Amino acid sequence: MKANELRKKYIDFFVSRGHKEISGKSLIPENDPTVLFTTAGMHPLVPYIMGEPHPAGTRLTDVQKCIRTQDIESVGDPTHATFFEMLGNWSLGDYFKEEALKMSYEFITSPEYLGLDVNKLSVTVFAGDDDAPADNEAFEIWKGLGIPEERIYRLPKEDNWWGPAGTTGPCGPDSEMFIDTGKEACGADCRPGCSCGKYFEIWNDVFMQYNKKEDGTYELMDRKCVDTGMGVERTITMLQGKNSVYDTELFTPILDKIGEMAGVKYKDDESLDNSFRIIADHAKASTMIMGDPQGVKPSNLGQGYILRRLIRRAVRHGKKLNIEGQFLGKLAEVIIEMYREVYPELAGNRDLIISEFAIEEAQFNSTLKKGEHEFEKLLPNLLRNPKKVVPGRTAFKLYDTYGFPFELTEELAAEHDMTVDREGFDEAYKKHQEISKKGAEQAFKGGLADNSVMSTRYHTATHLLHEALKTVLGDHVAQKGSNINADRLRFDFSHHDKMTDEEIKKVEDMVNEVIQAKMPVSMKTMTVEEAKALGARALFSGKYDEQVKVYFIGDFSTEVCGGPHVENTAELGKFVIKKEQSSSRGVRRIKAVLE
């Protein structure tokens, strides 16, 4: 089964069982400071899982583009991928465990759909702990479906529990489905979830039935939700009997193009295969990030920094394959063609993607020259060291300050009969990661899961800011991302020039005038087509008949949004712009507070 067929079968199955197909959302999360990218299919639906009514109803299904960046250094092995697609279906207070598990079982085993061998199916359920009892209900449902007890595994919270998204909120046990690949067990303790490869995870059903409170205790919720996920890449890998996602049609055209440029084919030289996979993965992820409706450009901040890392890592491995000249734009052409029908926005943003790859490759090559120059300046002192070792902290400084790869420092050192202290470099790198992690944990306090009064106010204020920027700067202004917590808002928008003090004051005054006018905030549900006809602000990527929420702030702003919002602008207080700065090429960033 190919990826296109899997996507269609999945959506058709759940639509036939009363689910409404909704459009997948942007890779750039709306208003959420907890993560840089959309990491799972349920991520854009957190507000609705929290209780916001969804305009499409209580049974939903979609295909969601996702990016996970915590495994960037692992990409290159046969299974990790930065970009992936997640198939999902949700019940928002509608059906619960029995119906969810029965539908999962039917889709997996029915010859009309995946037709997998029931005898190879193993499942896991939550074993229970001091916070919540064992999920005996799921256990009995699986037994009733014919799964023998010896293939129903009770596992602890680290294996079979999801959430909450923040420190508090909806969470609950999950039940995962695995196919036995037939490989030999790695030992007596081998079970689903083991990393040896015997069990292949195919699906996960999360049952959000608990609310974690601020005191750390868990209470049962009246409104229970189901969130499920099936990865497209991993599932077709298994269905096609492949050993790696890189052996499927979602990667082979890219790998073929890399081979053409490198003058050697993928798998012809095992020592080069890792570089092939890294380039293919990073080129695809970067193309998806820049080609997204809310796409970002390479920069030294947030998503732009991750994008820059992906591009530069791909360029480094291109050098290992002796690919000459700029090459990522050529791979982008292949990727855009591969996904043209599924994600038409890529073709629409083709010129931007190609040009940004070219700019970034050129800049990185310049960076490498600077790094080489810095190394040459350090060389006289380094050569005085009788041990002929470049200190790890020196190698890390070249990496951190100039983006100079450790491997290239090793190469330059070797030219002068020196080695590099890898252990010292790793130690400096680890300290850097710990500092970054602490910073990230500070950001994780808010997010879509934080429907606090202040977050709701800031959410509403972004609508006013967006409209004011368009009025003052021009219609070219478009939202390129927002980040909200209970303390401030951050708003990225397309604009090439630094705003003048006069422009900033005009925008600030305009927002405050609307707040002082005590304008009512109202909402109507309508189709995408109707919202367009009204002139509502939005990145219209959904289907014309898809239901959306349109929020009206008096006669000042009309915008498609998921919510939540205040009822009257008088609730917002005074709007103050604290900072206006560059975010990336052609994108500015405003930070503002409500006093």
Q: What is the CATH number of the domain that holds 523?
A: 3.30.980.10
3-state secondary structure of 32: coil
Asked whether residue 377 is assigned to any structural domain, the reply reads: no
Place of tokens 């077709």: 236
Asked whether residue 465 is assigned to any structural domain, the reply reads: yes
| Whether 29 and 92 share a structural domain | yes
Alpha helices in 474-496 (DSSP H): none
pLDDT, position 450:
57
| Whether 235 and 258 share a structural domain | no
| Whether 413 and 460 share a structural domain | no
| Whether 275 and 188 share a structural domain | no
Q: Are 21 and 125 in contact (CB under 8 A)?
A: no
| Whether 272 and 226 share a structural domain | no
Model confidence at 447: pLDDT above 60: no
Q: Are 198 and 186 in contact (CB under 8 A)?
A: yes
Binding-site residue numbers for Zn(2+) are 459, 463, 561, 565
Specify burial of residue 523 (Cβ count, 10 A radius: 0-12, 13-18, 19+). Answer: middle
Binding-site residue numbers are 459, 463, 561, 565
Q: Could you give the number of structural domains in the chain? A: 4
Please tell me which residue, 100 or 213, carries the higher pLDDT value.
100
Instruction: Check residue 44 and report its DSSP letter.
Output: G
Q: CA 235, CA 430: separation in Å to the nearest integer?
A: 34
Torsion of CA 459, 534, 45, 489, to 10 degrees: -20
| Whether 287 and 345 share a structural domain | yes
| Whether 256 and 318 share a structural domain | yes
Across the chain, mean pLDDT equals 90
pLDDT band at 444; cut points 50, 70, 90: very low
Which of 70-79, 90-99, 288-297, 483-492 is the most confident on average?
A: 90-99
pLDDT band at 50; cut points 50, 70, 90: confident
Model confidence at 543: pLDDT above 80: no
| Whether 351 and 439 share a structural domain | no
Q: CA 46, 56, 447 angle in degrees (round to 5)?
A: 15
pLDDT, position 445:
39
**Residue 129 CB partners (closer than 8 Å, separation 6+):** 156, 157
Q: What is the pTM of this model?
A: 0.81
Where does a domain end: 426, 444, 462? 444
Asked whether residue 375 is assigned to any structural domain, the reply reads: no
* Domain residue limits at 28: 3-242
DSSP letter for each residue of 368-411: HHHHHHHHHHHHHHHHT-TT-EE-HHHHHHHHHHH---HHHHHH
pLDDT, position 5:
96
Question: In the sheet where 575-584 sits, what is the strand order?
Answer: 30-31, 479-484, 489-494, 587-594, 575-584
Where does a domain end: 444, 475, 493? 444
pLDDT band at 443; cut points 50, 70, 90: very low
